[in-house]
Chains A and B, each alone.
Chain A
Amino acid sequence: MILRALAVLVSLALWVLAPAALAQAPSWQPAPDAWADDDEDDEEPFQADLDRQRHVQAEKAEVEGDLALVLDSRYRFCHDLESRVLEGDAALCDLKAIAKPRCPGFAEACEKPFVESLSQRRRAERKESPKLELPKLSAGLGVVAKVLFWGMLLLLLVFLVWAIVKGARSREAASVSEADEPLADDPEEAASAARRRRVETDVERLLRRAHAEAAQGRFEQALADAYAALLRHLEGNGYIDMHPSRTNGEYARGLREHPALRAAVEHSAREIEAVQFGARAPSAERFRAVVERVTAVVGRGAALVLALVLALSTTACDELTRGPAPGPGDEAGGFSLLARLLAQRGAVVKHHEGEGSLDLEAGLGVVVVHGQADLPAAEWTRLREFVDEGGTLIIALDTDQSFTSEVTRGPSARCESLRAAPAYFDYQGLILTAPGPGWLMAPNDHWPVLQCAAKDGTVWSHVVASTVGEGSVVILPGSGLLTNASMVSGDHAFVLLELLFGQPASVLFVDAEEQVGEDSPLMAVAQGRLGPILLQLFALMALFYWLRGKHFGRPRALEVTRRRAFSEHVEALGTQYHKAGASRLALGMYAGWAIERLRERVLPGKGGSLSALAQAVAARSGRAEGDVLRVLVEGDSAHKALTAPGEPVEDHRIMRELDGLLSEVGGSVGR
């Protein structure tokens, strides 16, 4: 760090104390005459001077290359001929002449009226820029083609509306049909129904059923359904393969590569197994704990899918969102260009904005403090320690003086009438000294500024540096030197990089808080180019809400509306008959149907009496004819007296016997 500080000082001395001034040159070049004067005065060897010039030229070429790389389209002030300059940056327009080769837009903007804010600037630019002419799609089409084009577009819209409405109606119909199936009140009947019920695999319905059962106080079944929802979700996503012979432990072990999912399964299984096998009481708390875990896992998948959809949707606006959006730091008065140049040259660049302590970590080489930065005393103390330990502190003062047209390398011949300078200046506890005799350390609104005055009264500001402890402090007359406009002007970038950041190092910029904001949140969204993404997001949410109803945002599996199987209709009908006590009616109808089927199978096309039918059935099935005839007579009697009062057990027995006959003579039709 000591060497580094010395290098900065030597560089400063080299540049500052050089007798030649390049004030009049639009772009700094080593002036042969000036250097020649030096050579005569100092009697330096010509060859050494030539080598130095070559070195400088090579370094300049390198910086020029870096500038070309980083000076991209984000610097609109540089390239956009319609750009405007903010009033706060008006002083930078002194640089327009030497900035013009690289930034023609800046020179043009300086000729136009200044604007107060970014919003005002955009409004002004919008008025001036010609409106985009959208190509008329149908311009080159004939009348028939136009009609076809618009007709197809209309049909597409109608189809979309129809699809959405149809989906909504079918959803309502499905919810109504589900509501028609009440849960059985009798526990035995409920258990029996559960055994007959097909295995539910839909995650959403399982969760809904779990909540319904929990609401009725059946927490054990609710727990089982919630856990089943979790497993079905994992199965649907390919994490596990469910099978009746698999244990919860096997499911958990199968998730060893997904610790979060495994933890959820293990936790839920632990709660449920404690109830199912450990005789623990199923409680609302236990159910709540399991449901929270289940919902978290199920919701994570939905969130991932949604995030993926949104991420993919943003690519639709690729042209609008490509690259980082330019911010206040990219304006003419911003400071991003220097940081990017440093990064281009291998330096690690960090920023500190707002409150909070500075990150003066080990390895940090340079700290640049802008004059507007409002640092507390404690932070200045830390900076002092940082410098004492060998760091370089660069302070860009915030002075009211107008920005000089160029960075000078030292007191020119015009700086002859210097006033007496104090030997040192106390700045925030840092003792600074002028670089040499004849220099003035003049306080300017509490800031020390190194100045020299020409005979005509012009005051020039210069860089001043001093060693403090093992490090060094460099004071710049104003932060204007570090601005983007300055960096593209003449050789400012070269001078700064050579003088202040000679070696690639970690650099911390302590920036002043930017007060340049948008007038309204809407304009901020527009400036951030978030409009297309937000619009897509809203459109997606609206579509989901319309298609999925109030459940949007909650995790759920896709609910597939399907036709019910015939056996389910029969089961539902049978349940209704059972509840209504209409077993005789059911038997009669079934018996009529069964006897007809028996006739078709054993006496096709012959008809005949019940005894003939019984004889044929007995011959086919091997049963006793008398038993067959009894069953047929009982069934036929019931068929002929549908409204007679029935006996459920007896009626059920006859139905089963008829069913047995049917299956023995030609295959069962199922119940």
Chain B
Amino acid sequence: MDVSEFSQTFHSIVTEMSRVVVGQDDVVEHVLIAALARGHVLIEGVPGLGKTLLVRALGQVVGADFRRIQFTPDLMPSDVTGGNVYDQGQGRFVFMPGPVFTQLLLADEINRAPAKTQSSLLEAMQDRSVTTDGVTRPLPSPFLVIATQNPVESQGTYPLPEAQLDRFLLKVQVSHPSRAAEQQILTNYLHGFDPTDLSRIGLEQRIDAARLIEMQQLIHSVRVDPELVAYVADIVGRTRAHRSVYLGASPRASIGLLVTARARAASQGRDFVIPDDVKVFAPGVLRHRLILHPDAELEGTTADDCVEAILRAAPVPHTAA
């Protein structure tokens, strides 16, 4: 596979998913880029914007096993990872895998579960394995966690810990669709579209898991110019010096920015990264990794504001201006 074929496959997946997820092309592209970059995605948006539909459609189009966990306040870690259960027939404990043992995991409303349960995903997301009772079990490959959270409701929710947030490659914000997109959604509904039965509309599988892994590996061959490495380091470094930011982005963020930029370059049929690839994904990679000063938060400054200011201050390599 070369970058040209990569690009064609990428766009065919996006096109197929756009049949179901109407008016959210950017979100679809971001999620797919994250999947290709072997990263996890945190999707933030109010209910009813098609977040779950997006993940289900992705699972069907890329041919990955899909499972969903509805996070609730009484959800236990073993409900996620699974645990050892005594088998009376065999007379011993046997491991019952949890829903995390899948290729595509939807952690719906992840902030409704307490931190202990949320943290049960830490190892899975970072090491792609689960350890229970001293035994480490690898997760299927590819493995992708797509978590959703509602930014509006605060009662009965538990903010995700920083360590957990840092493990998400991208935080994607889903906004309301445009008027035209909404009209299309309504038209689809009138024509019998059922979001719980995607097979009815003939959503086609474009690739399989093996092909997805092949695409993930091709990203490593995308060239990154040293000046772009410096550009990424400059951007991430500026998050640590910004006056409104209490804690800047980690080196994991730098790596994440670089890998998403490579994935985007490949998706556009290029075998080299350009500054635009970095800049486009910088908000998604950085926004959930910045901890703002309380004063700045009181002033209404958001992480997106800071990232925007940082990008505005960081000169791109070989600028003509």
Among B138-146, B164-172, B270-278, which stretch is in contact with chain A? B270-278
Separation of A274 and B272 alpha carbons in the complex (Å)? 8
Q: Which of A243, A277, A279 contacts B321 (CB 8 A)?
A: A243
CB proximity of A232 to chain B, nearest CB, Å: 8
Q: Which of A231, A245, A250, A274 contacts B320 (CB 8 A)?
A: A231
Among B93-101, B292-300, B308-316, which stretch is in contact with chain A? B308-316
Chain A CB count within 10 A is highest, among B223, B279, B319, for B319
Separation of A249 and B225 alpha carbons in the complex (Å)? 17
Q: Which B212-230 residues sit within 8 Å CB-CB of chain A? A: 223, 225, 227-228
CB proximity of A138 to chain B, nearest CB, Å: 59
The answer on a CB contact under 8 Å between A244 and B279 is no
Q: Which residues of B contact A224 (CB under 8 A)?
A: 318, 320
The answer on a CB contact under 8 Å between B311 and A248 is no
Separation of A652 and B315 alpha carbons in the complex (Å)? 30
Q: Which residues of B contact A279 (CB under 8 A)?
A: 223, 225, 272
The answer on a CB contact under 8 Å between A245 and B312 is yes
Q: Which residues of A contact B271 (CB under 8 A)?
A: 278
Known: A248-B276, A277-B228. A242 touches B321 (CB 8 A): yes
A551 within 8 A of B: no
B210 within 8 A of A: no
The answer on a CB contact under 8 Å between B314 and A245 is yes
Q: Which residues of A contact B315 (CB under 8 A)?
A: 244-245
Q: Count contacts on A: residues with CB < 8 A to the other chain.
A: 22
The answer on a CB contact under 8 Å between B311 and A245 is yes
Separation of A243 and B312 alpha carbons in the complex (Å)? 8
Q: Which A26-83 residues sit within 8 Å CB-CB of chain B? A: none
Interface string of A250-273 (1 = CB under 8 A from B): 100000000000000000000011
B151 within 8 A of A: no
CB proximity of A239 to chain B, nearest CB, Å: 14
The answer on a CB contact under 8 Å between A278 and B275 is no
Q: Which B22-40 residues sit within 8 Å CB-CB of chain A? A: none
Known: A250-B279, A277-B225. A245 touches B316 (CB 8 A): yes
Chain A CB count within 10 A is highest, among B227, B272, B314, B320, for B320
CB proximity of A141 to chain B, nearest CB, Å: 60
A228 within 8 A of B: yes
Separation of A277 and B316 alpha carbons in the complex (Å)? 12
B280 within 8 A of A: yes
A558 within 8 A of B: no
CB proximity of B227 to chain A, nearest CB, Å: 8
Q: Which of B225, B272, B276, B313 contacts A247 (CB 8 A)?
A: B276
Q: Which residues of A contact B313 (CB under 8 A)?
A: 245
The answer on a CB contact under 8 Å between A228 and B316 is no
Q: Which residues of A contact B275 (CB under 8 A)?
A: 247-249, 277
Separation of A228 and B320 alpha carbons in the complex (Å)? 5
Separation of A243 and B279 alpha carbons in the complex (Å)? 14
Known: A273-B274, A278-B270, A278-B271. A246 touches B316 (CB 8 A): yes
B73 within 8 A of A: no
Q: Which residues of B contact A272 (CB under 8 A)?
A: 318
The answer on a CB contact under 8 Å between A249 and B280 is yes
B317 within 8 A of A: yes
Chain B CB count within 10 A is highest, among A224, A250, A278, for A278
CB proximity of A199 to chain B, nearest CB, Å: 7
Known: A245-B314, A276-B225. A227 touches B272 (CB 8 A): no
Q: Which residues of B contact A245 (CB under 8 A)?
A: 311-316, 319
Known: A247-B279, A249-B276. A276 touches B318 (CB 8 A): yes
Separation of A277 and B223 alpha carbons in the complex (Å)? 8
Separation of A255 and B316 alpha carbons in the complex (Å)? 20
Q: Which A273-294 residues sit within 8 Å CB-CB of chain B? A: 273-274, 276-279
The answer on a CB contact under 8 Å between A242 and B316 is no
Chain B CB count within 10 A is highest, among A199, A232, A243, A244, for A244
The answer on a CB contact under 8 Å between A250 and B228 is no
Least CB separation from A230: chain B residue: B320
Interface string of A418-434 (1 = CB under 8 A from B): 00000000000000000
Least CB separation from A220: chain B residue: B318
The answer on a CB contact under 8 Å between B272 and A249 is no
Known: A244-B316, A249-B280. A278 touches B223 (CB 8 A): yes
The answer on a CB contact under 8 Å between A244 and B321 is yes
CB proximity of B297 to chain A, nearest CB, Å: 25
Separation of A232 and B321 alpha carbons in the complex (Å)? 8
Least CB separation from B320: chain A residue: A228
CB proximity of A104 to chain B, nearest CB, Å: 67
Interface string of B261-296 (1 = CB under 8 A from A): 000000000111111100110000000000000000
CB proximity of B228 to chain A, nearest CB, Å: 6
Q: Which residues of A contact B225 (CB under 8 A)?
A: 276-279
Separation of A243 and B321 alpha carbons in the complex (Å)? 5
Known: A245-B314, A247-B279, A250-B279. A277 touches B319 (CB 8 A): no
Q: Which B165-182 residues sit within 8 Å CB-CB of chain A? A: none
Q: Which B79-137 residues sit within 8 Å CB-CB of chain A? A: none
CB proximity of B89 to chain A, nearest CB, Å: 62
Least CB separation from A252: chain B residue: B276
Least CB separation from B311: chain A residue: A245
CB proximity of B265 to chain A, nearest CB, Å: 9
Interface string of A360-395 (1 = CB under 8 A from B): 000000000000000000000000000000000000
Known: A245-B313, A245-B314, A249-B280. A277 touches B274 (CB 8 A): yes
Q: Which B149-164 residues sit within 8 Å CB-CB of chain A? A: none
Separation of A480 and B279 alpha carbons in the complex (Å)? 78
Chain B CB count within 10 A is highest, among A231, A232, A243, A245, for A245
Q: Which residues of B contact A274 (CB under 8 A)?
A: 272
Q: Which residues of B contact A278 (CB under 8 A)?
A: 223, 225, 270-272
The answer on a CB contact under 8 Å between B312 and A277 is no
Q: Which residues of A contact B274 (CB under 8 A)?
A: 247-249, 273, 277
Separation of A242 and B320 alpha carbons in the complex (Å)? 8
CB proximity of B249 to chain A, nearest CB, Å: 18
Least CB separation from A272: chain B residue: B318
Separation of A282 and B271 alpha carbons in the complex (Å)? 17
CB proximity of A234 to chain B, nearest CB, Å: 11
Separation of A248 and B279 alpha carbons in the complex (Å)? 11
Separation of A274 and B270 alpha carbons in the complex (Å)? 9
Interface string of A295-332 (1 = CB under 8 A from B): 00000000000000000000000000000000000000
Q: Which residues of B contact A232 (CB under 8 A)?
A: 320
The answer on a CB contact under 8 Å between B272 and A246 is no
Known: A245-B316, A246-B316, A247-B316. A277 touches B272 (CB 8 A): yes
Least CB separation from B318: chain A residue: A276
Interface string of B219-263 (1 = CB under 8 A from A): 000010101100000000000000000000000000000000000
CB proximity of A195 to chain B, nearest CB, Å: 13
The answer on a CB contact under 8 Å between A277 and B280 is no
Chain A CB count within 10 A is highest, among B274, B279, B314, for B274
Separation of A249 and B273 alpha carbons in the complex (Å)? 12
Write the residues of chain A forming the contact surface with B, with a CB cutoff of 8 angstroms.
199, 224, 227-228, 231-232, 242-250, 272-274, 276-279
Given contacts A242-B321, A247-B276, 17 further A-B contacts (CB under 8 A): A199-B321, A231-B320, A243-B321, A244-B315, A244-B319, A245-B319, A246-B321, A248-B274, A248-B276, A249-B279, A250-B279, A273-B274, A274-B272, A276-B225, A277-B225, A278-B271, A278-B272
> Which 3 residue pairs of A and B lie closest in terms of their CB atoms, listed nearest first?
A249-B276, A278-B272, A244-B315
Can you list 23 residue pairs at the A/B interface with Cβ under 8 Å? Answer: A199-B321, A242-B321, A243-B312, A245-B319, A246-B316, A246-B321, A247-B275, A247-B276, A247-B279, A248-B275, A248-B276, A249-B274, A249-B275, A249-B276, A249-B279, A276-B317, A277-B225, A277-B273, A277-B317, A277-B318, A278-B223, A278-B225, A279-B272
